[in-house]
Amino acid sequence: MIMLANRLLSAATAGTRLAKFSTSASKYNIFDKITFIGTGKMGQAMLSPLITQNLQSPSSMTVYDVSDAALRKVEELYPGIKASSSIPDAIADSNLIVYGVKPQNVCKVHAEIRRAKLDGAGTVRDDAIILSVVAGTPIQNYVERSLVTKVARSMPNTPAQIGCGVTVWSCTDNVDANERRRITAVLDSFGKTVFVEDESFIDMSTSISGSGPAYIFMLMEAMIDAGVHMGFSRETATTLVHHTLLGSTKFAMETGEHPAVLRNSVTSPAGTTASAIYELENGKFRTVIKDAIWACYRRSLEMGGKSSQVGPNRSPTIPVDLQVMMNNIPISHHPVEPPMGEMRVPSSFGKKD
C-alpha cells in the first residue's frame, strides 16, 4: 500500500496527474491529515481539487476558521470534512498545516500554534509542515513565530479551484525529498507547479500569477461590456470573450510562438486590428500592465516588511520621501542591477570575419 502510494506520488512529481479513483473516498492520502486554517476563497479553492481528484479523503482533512459561515459552507460542500472549533483541536495529528488566512491574521495563528507546541501535549506533530499561501509573509516569520521548523511558502491562484491554477513555491532546507514530493503532489492538484530555490521569486510571482487572474478578469469584463455596448446580448458577448481568451492562450501555448509574432499574424495592413492596437498603445496598454505588476510586487514586499524600492522610477538607495522632494524626477527605469554576465563584450567583438 505504501509502495503504491509512493509510486503515485512519483507520478505526480513527474508532472503527470494522479489517477482518478472510481470511489468517491480516496484510498491514498498524500498526508496523514491536512488542516486548513482559514477556509475563505483560497482555502476552498485548494480543498476542492484535492477532494475532486480523490487525492486526500475528506475524513483526513480538518478545517478551522473564525467565520462560522465559512466553516458551515465547507461542511456542506464537502461532507466528511471535520470542522474544528479551535486551532489546537484542528492541528492535532496533522502533518500538513495550511495557512489560508489574510496576512494580517497570520500572527494570531502563529500564537496559537506556538502555544500548542510549548504546552508539550504533543498536539503539534514533530514532523508537521506548514504550507502557507499567504501573500508577503516570509518563511522566516513562520519559523520564528510558530516554532514549526519545516515551512513551505507558496503562491497559488484561484483557478486552482478547477485544477487550472499555477503555484510557485519554496521551502526551508530541512523539508526532505519525500516531503517535497508530497507537497508537490498537493500543489499539482491545483494545476501547474513551479519550485523556486530563492524565496524572493514568490513575491514576484504574486504580481504575475497570484494576482494575475484579477487583471484578466478586468480585461474580460471590459471586452464583454464593449460587446454589450455595441448591441450583443451579454450572453453572446461573454461567449465571444471567453473563447477568445481561451483560444488565444491555448494557441500561444501549443505553437510556442512569441506573442508579438501571433499578434502580427492578426494585424492586417491598414486593417481593423491595427486601428485597435493604435488606441491600446495610445493608452499605454503595455506600460499600464507592467506598472500594475510592479505595484503588486512592491505591495507584496511591503507586506513582508521589506523595502519596496524596486521597479521603474524607484531607487533602492534613495528613500521615497527624498524622491518626492526631488519632484519625482524619474531616477531610473532599471529595476535591478543589470545582469553583468550578459553585458560582457564578446571576444569576437570588432573582429572582421
Ligand X SMILES: NC(=O)C1=CN([C@@H]2O[C@H](COP(=O)(O)OP(=O)(O)OC[C@H]3O[C@@H](n4cnc5c(N)ncnc54)[C@H](OP(=O)(O)O)[C@@H]3O)[C@@H](O)[C@H]2O)C=CC1
Ligand Y SMILES: O=C(O)[C@@H]1CCC=N1
* Residues near ligand X (CB under 6 A): 37-43, 64-67, 70, 100-103, 105, 108-109, 133-135, 155-158, 210
Q: Which does 294 bind (CB under 5 to 8 A by kind): ligand X, ligand Y, none?
A: none
CB under 8 A, 24+ apart: contacts of 214-217: 215/289, 215/292, 216/245
Report H helices in the chain. Answer: 2-13, 41-52, 68-77, 87-91, 106-118, 139-146, 177-188, 200-205, 212-230, 234-255, 259-266, 272-282, 285-303, 320-325, 340-343
* Cβ 119 to ligand X shortest distance, Å: 19
Is residue 38 a contact point for ligand Y (CB under 6 A)? no
Q: Which does 88 bind (CB under 5 to 8 A by kind): ligand X, ligand Y, none?
A: none
**Residues in contact with ligand Y, total (CB under 6 A)?**
4
d(CA 204, CA 208): 7
d(CA 3, CA 306): 44
d(CA 132, CA 103): 10
| 141 and 173 Cβ atoms separated by less than 8 Å | no
Q: Which does 131 bind (CB under 5 to 8 A by kind): ligand X, ligand Y, none?
A: none
* 104 exposure class (CB count in 10 Å sphere: 0-12, 13-18, 19+): exposed
Is residue 210 a contact point for ligand Y (CB under 6 A)? yes
| 1 and 36 Cβ atoms separated by less than 8 Å | no
Q: Which does 105 bind (CB under 5 to 8 A by kind): ligand Y, ligand X, none?
A: ligand X
* Cβ 248 to ligand Y shortest distance, Å: 23
Q: Which of 81, 91, 135, 148 binds ligand Y (CB under 6 A)?
A: 135
Q: Tell me which residue of 56, 65, 68 sits closest to 94, measured CA to CA.
A: 56
d(CA 217, CA 166): 16
d(CA 298, CA 335): 11
Is residue 172 a contact point for ligand Y (CB under 6 A)? no
Query: Residue 88 or residue 210: which is nearer to ligand Y going by CB?
Result: 210
| 191 and 167 Cβ atoms separated by less than 8 Å | yes
Query: Residue 72 or residue 108: which is nearer to ligand X going by CB?
Result: 108
Residue nearest to ligand X (CB): 40
* Cβ 232 to ligand X shortest distance, Å: 29
- Beta strands at 165-171 and 150-155: parallel, antiparallel or unpaired: antiparallel
Hey, what's the cell of 172?
526551508
Q: Which of 184, 205, 211, 308 binds ligand Y (CB under 6 A)?
A: 211
Window 4 to 23, contacts with ligand Y (CB under 6 A) = none
* Cβ 210 to ligand Y shortest distance, Å: 4
- Binding segment for ligand Y (CB under 6 A), chosen from 164-172, 187-195, 203-211, 278-286, is 203-211
Query: Residue 9 or residue 160: which is nearer to ligand X going by CB?
Result: 160
* Cβ 154 to ligand Y shortest distance, Å: 11
* Cβ 69 to ligand X shortest distance, Å: 8
Q: Which does 101 bind (CB under 5 to 8 A by kind): ligand X, ligand Y, none?
A: ligand X
Count the neighbouring beta carbons within 10 Å of the beta carbon of residue 2: 7
* Cβ 21 to ligand Y shortest distance, Å: 31
Which residues would be at the binding site for ligand Y (CB under 6 A)? 135, 206, 210-211
